[in-house]
Structure 1
Amino acid sequence: MRVLVTGTAGFIGFHLANALAKRGDEVIGYDNINDYYDVGLKLARLKFAGFSTDEITTNRLITSKTTPNLKFIKADLADKTTLDMLFKEYKFDCVVNLAAQAGVRYSLINPQAYIDSNITGFLNILECCRHNATPNLVYASSSSVYGLNENMPFNTHEAVNHPISLYAASKKSNEMMAHTYSHLFGVPTTGLRFFTVYGPWGRPDMALFLFVDAALKGKSIDVFNHGKMRRDFTYVDDIVKGIIKCVDNPATPNPAWDAKAPDPATSSAAFKIYNIGNNSPVELMEYINAIELKIGREISKNFLPLQAGDVPATFADVSDLVADFEYKPNTSVNDGVAKFIEWYCEFYGVKA
């Protein structure tokens, strides 16, 4: 297959692009390499994938030195001219849109970034898919869309009308925009609501990275909601397996869809929403304990209230992914955390 993966310098996009290329797909990576977090880490991911960082310049398509079927272009989703050029030249079999302005807390500080990337950028992707008859669009949504909902496990067949951050609102907007294009223009779209993804090469603004970084530097960590958070932590390899299932299986219309009792997760159009998570929420303190177990010492903790925009718990009902694709995450928190710490120590040249 010929696949466009946006957000390739990002955490999940990096892992997905490499996995698709490894199995033999022709992959075009796309990323603007913004400075939301350490650009050096993003460039290191690309270097690990075989790209010469000296060759990375805006709007220049380059080829991996180690994986000839993996290419990359530095460009922004707002750059519709470059997107149009790529779509016309490569006629993608599938587009996986993982490029987005991430982060719940940052959306309280810089809301415009979420409109530019998550709304305008996603519209450009939809327009390109529409005008090039792209047979499959898979895109990143988020567990954040569940907002004030406390009915767990979170189920895609229930409405999500109460987001509590602009980031979450932008992701719900993506789902509604996707449905519009599926209905009006026949673009098959699959939205994936990710649940707290972690693992090697992870983002520096995520809890695991922050905790490990502080612990190995002998600093204390901030533990919000006084440690009473529960998250459906999902290891990145398990996430990638789920995404690839959706790459290989475009959404189809639900013949049983009833407009008088509409199911939010399906449609009479080729539209589907899945939760993609571990289906096994873990107490934040247990997550921290997994770090302490690996590094062999206790971490000093600052217990703080719940932050604005955060939810106290997430829990994914992944029964649809299981039923449709036999999806089953199998990486335990202890194993996943240990793998992250091993990567961190090697990458930064430190000892646990």
Structure 2
Amino acid sequence: MNSLLGPLGRSAALRRAPLALRRPSPPLSSLTLSTRPTQKRPIPLAAVHARFVASSVSGRPGSQTIGHAKQNVKEEVGNSAADWARSIAGGIFALDSVKPSKESFYAITSAVATSVPAPYLVMGLAGGLPYVASAGTTVYLAHQAGLAAMGTVTNMDPGVALTILDQALTFQVTYGAVMLSFLGALHWGMEFAGQGGHKGYPRLLLGVTPAVVAWSTIALQPTSALICQWIGFTALWYVDNRATSAGWTPKWYSQYRFYLSILVGTCIIGSLAGTSYWGPVAGHGLLSHDLERIRSIRKESQPERAGFIGGDIEAVAGDEKSDSYVVIRKKEKKQEEGESREQ
């Protein structure tokens, strides 16, 4: 009996013994891998069918209904708009001073806009009002010049209308050059004040380049100058955006410059569209007209009120019986013969 219970007792005692007293596992080096090829067991058809049913869920589109599609499109557009707002702000929206309450275009833009000092925003927009007025005047004068060229407005000479339009375009180009130069000069002030540290020649060159480009456009034709200035304003805003991201400017500067660039760009595009659609540009720019041909058409529609009238007629003073001071009549033959002999 003891011989039968002995091994069982020892095995039970060994299971209850601590881990340290148990037989250690053989080392990995003593283990040998079987070189016999494993047998491939066929997968049951039911398991295959279940696998395909399970994977079909992941293959479904993200939008199962029209309502889901609208919601997904709305979210994607909102995320893209928020990313665009971050780019406009120069990537500084995450700072505590301008941290938005919600991740949306309006929230990010509003958060940065509220950080712009009010005097800077008011004076910047006020400085753009003359430019807006000049753009509106250019469009109005282009319309009037177009009417004069077509003969619709008979009390204005086409040459005079085109000259006034050319002066309005010149004023807009000159004021635009002043604004572009001023925006570049701001970087000199930031360098003098040490905003973001002194950068030396790179920031000084950044400040003087817009002035060189702006005043070079004065030598161009008005419409060509406006196109070059639009490119200059857009390029300068991009550079200011990068400068804001690098810490060269105040945190709100990129957003501030974005508003001014939109204002100026809209005025330039409006002026170019108005002059191209409604009227000529006095020999400059995208359209040119022959003034002599326009004047001849105008004379046909409305003869001159003073001057010489060709033909075999003459104007003589009216006598006492006449109802008018001047009488226009056909030339007498004797007088015509005398004039021909004198010639």
Common fold by TM > 0.5? no
Find the structure with the greater CA-based Rg.
2
TM-score (norm 2): 0.21
Structure with more helix by fraction = 2
